[in-house]
A and B are shown apart, each in its own frame.
Chain A
Amino acid sequence: MSIIVNHVSCVFGGDTNMPVNALKDINLVINEGEFIGLIGHTGSGKSTLVQHLNGLIKATEGAVYFNGEDISDKDFDKKKLRSKVGLVFQYPEHQLFEIDVFSDVCFGPKNLGLSKKETELRAYKALKQVGISDEYFYQSPFALSGGQKRRVAIAGVLAMEPEVLILDEPTAGLDPKGRDEILTMIKKLQTEMGITVILVSHSMEDVAQYVDRIVVMNQGEIMYDAEPKEVFSHYKELEAVELAAPAVTYIMEKCREAGFPVNVKATTVLEAKNEILRIFHK
């Protein structure tokens, strides 16, 4: 299972006199089971790129291959693709609509044409995966807290049993504990169930903490595609494109400037702590 993005370009308004090149010659391979962070400033093309991955937007040029098949082929089953590549939009709780939590999560699998039993089984499993306990199943989704609503919305996508889960800023507006809970849950889906995860995020700290690989977008192009340490070592270049490195990267840099012989590649608090303890021989 893999997604290959091959020389994909996307032009909006190509037949007008103001065409916008949203994506320019994107090449990307997403391997099975990876946890990828997708970062970039507002308008850099992140959302346009992820919408190509499940066929919501058709590439102007180039092609997207899902398991070796071109998704723009006439014979390709788009409906199946959308169940395999689940997309969780920003503020997904705005899409909740059913009378109770359980029915809301059933909506997706029901529309796949599954039996009532299978639908309910999947909904139950998905709600368990996101950590919603039984007592909430028959409550209105609108009576839940912000973090819980978001879990239910994610469960709605999980119930489709996707192989790839794309989340567009799943932690926006949540309190710090809520952020950690959602991200830990997503990490668990990746490690325990082998789901490939693409996390679109504006929080460099979260990305540094959770993902294995970072793709940086700028003006419709891929600027970096590497592991977090490597990407964040270019913090000056990231700042030039309205991004940043995690706070600890700057702390380590300042420590080095002050004469401490630290390795500045730490991107998480734990790594920074171990590095400082190392030079203090603790």
Chain B
Amino acid sequence: MEIIETKNLVFEYIRRDDEGNVEGFTKAVDNVNLEVKQGDFIAILGHNGSGKSTLAKHLNAVVMPTEGTVYVDGKDTQDKEALWDIRKTAGMVFQNPDNQIIGQIVEEDVGFGPENMGVPTQEIWERVEESLKAVGMYAYRKHSPNKLSGGQKQRVSIAGVLAMHPKCIVLDEPTAMLDPNGRKEVIRAVRALNQAEDITVILITHYMEEVIHADKVFVMDQGKVVMEGTPKKIFSQVERLKELRLDVPQVTLLAYELGKSGLNLPKGILTTEEFVEELQKAALRML
């Protein structure tokens, strides 16, 4: 069974003018069919306004479908009885860490989720400890969140979700406000959770470099999924991505640009190591 499944998902909202008269309808999500397996690392790309965040909000029942169905671990998100289970199964992390941290001390903040779920005190502390260790923030457990860097705050937010023992974490542009090191820290923590704890990850981002390790990438445009496949397959299509207001990692772009100038390298190179290897092969061919 898939951990997340959407069937013909449509989300429509009504546009109104200043007087409240209906101007028309906008389909923010338009007939999306997603199947995500437990333990997958999924990335969703798309320009601003393409429907990524609206889709993400369906995955833990913050937003309900206009048409179609969303199943989280087999449960329909429109089933009111299942709401708590769904929110526990799929946790969300948002862009701005300052909007998500409420505790005075790091460990209190991480304990907030399980406390609200009625987890016994002893177990809350165990969960806080393991969650903070999983994101490498245990040493900061007694600190005030205000004194942390952006990347550290965002890792505390992730620990807060982890403490609820989700099977799946949805991250909506978690690195948009971070410095380079903060971005690296967060992505490293997310990958570790995916690999070591088998937690399903759905990552929404505008940084192409962050998705090269994903199992599968979905690209959205006007509410629809317009491309899907492995990062290699997706990033092989430089022109198509540019049309969709997106980009490719710099190393991929460099290989592509070299190809246009007559130095042919395989399509969809994603890492520096791969690039150097192919460049060496190209040099040998020319000897």
Chain A residues proximal to chain B, CB less than 8 Å: 40-43, 90, 140, 145-147, 169, 172-179, 202, 204-205, 239, 242-244, 246-248, 250-251, 254-255, 258, 260, 269-270, 272-273, 276-277, 280, 282
Contacts and interface: CB of A to CB of B under 8 A. Distances in A.
A251 B48 contact: no
A151 B272 CA distance: 35
28 contacts: A41-B179, A42-B151, A140-B18, A145-B48, A173-B176, A173-B177, A173-B206, A175-B46, A176-B206, A176-B246, A177-B47, A177-B247, A242-B149, A242-B181, A243-B181, A248-B251, A251-B251, A254-B273, A255-B275, A255-B276, A258-B276, A258-B279, A269-B253, A269-B254, A269-B257, A276-B258, A276-B279, A280-B282
A130 B247 CA distance: 22
B272 A250 contact: yes
B144 interface: no
A178 B245 contact: yes
Contacts of A140: 18
Contacts of A176: 206, 208, 245-247
B76 to A, nearest CB: 32
The 8 closest A-B CB pairs, nearest first, are A177-B245, A242-B181, A176-B247, A247-B250, A175-B47, A244-B180, A146-B48, A42-B150
Interface in B174-198: 176-184
B173 A243 contact: no
A247 B251 contact: yes
A204 B95 CA distance: 20
A175 B245 contact: yes
Interface of B: 18, 46-50, 95, 149-151, 173, 176-184, 206, 208-209, 242, 245-247, 249-251, 253-254, 257-258, 261-263, 272-273, 275-276, 279-280, 282-283, 286
Nearest to A144: B49
A205 B207 CA distance: 11
Contacts of B176: 172-173
Majority secondary structure of chain B interface residues (helix, strand, loop or mixed): helix
A8 to B, nearest CB: 23
A273 B208 contact: no
Contact of B48 (A174, A243, A254, A269): A174
Contact of B178 (A202, A251, A258): A202
A174 B95 CA distance: 12
A172 B254 contact: no
B263 A146 contact: no
Contacts of A273: 254, 257-258, 261
B171 to A, nearest CB: 14
A147 B209 CA distance: 21
A5 to B, nearest CB: 23
Nearest to B149: A42
Contacts of B46: 175
B181 A254 contact: no
A272 B253 CA distance: 11
Contacts of B206: 173-176, 179
A41 B184 CA distance: 13
B217 to A, nearest CB: 14
A202 B208 contact: no
Nearest to A179: B206
Contacts of A41: 149, 179, 181-182
Nearest to B243: A177
Most buried by A among B180, B184, B206, B262: B180
B250 A242 contact: no
Given A243-B181, A276-B279, A277-B261, A251 B250 contact: yes
Given A243-B179, A258-B280, A280-B283, 20 more contacts: A41-B181, A43-B149, A146-B48, A173-B95, A173-B177, A174-B48, A175-B46, A175-B48, A176-B246, A176-B247, A177-B247, A179-B206, A202-B179, A204-B180, A242-B149, A242-B179, A246-B250, A260-B279, A273-B254, A282-B261
